Amino acid sequence: MQAYEFYATPENGVIQIPKQYRSKITSGVKVILLEEKTWKFDREEANARRRTDLLSPISIDTRGWTFDKEEANER
């Protein structure tokens, strides 16, 4: 079973499957609806949740640090 997650607003009881998933779904589907009453659907917010460019890598210079296994296990 393959899972696809997306945000949608039902219109007259119909939820559209996004175009990028339509060709991948070739058989019956199991539908589970999770309603979020306190969350207002916002397409820009939904897209921002999927963005990975909001995180940037960091680098920490650990040269000169000493690591003592016994000291770490004391804590």
Structure confidence by residue, pLDDT tens digits, 18-61: 888 889 888 888 888 887 765 566 666 666 666 655 667 788 88
- Is residue 69 very low, low, confident or very high in pLDDT (cuts 50, 70, 90)? confident
Non-local CB neighbours of 9 within 8 Å, separated by 6+ positions: 41
Non-local CB neighbours of 4 within 8 Å, separated by 6+ positions: 21, 24, 25
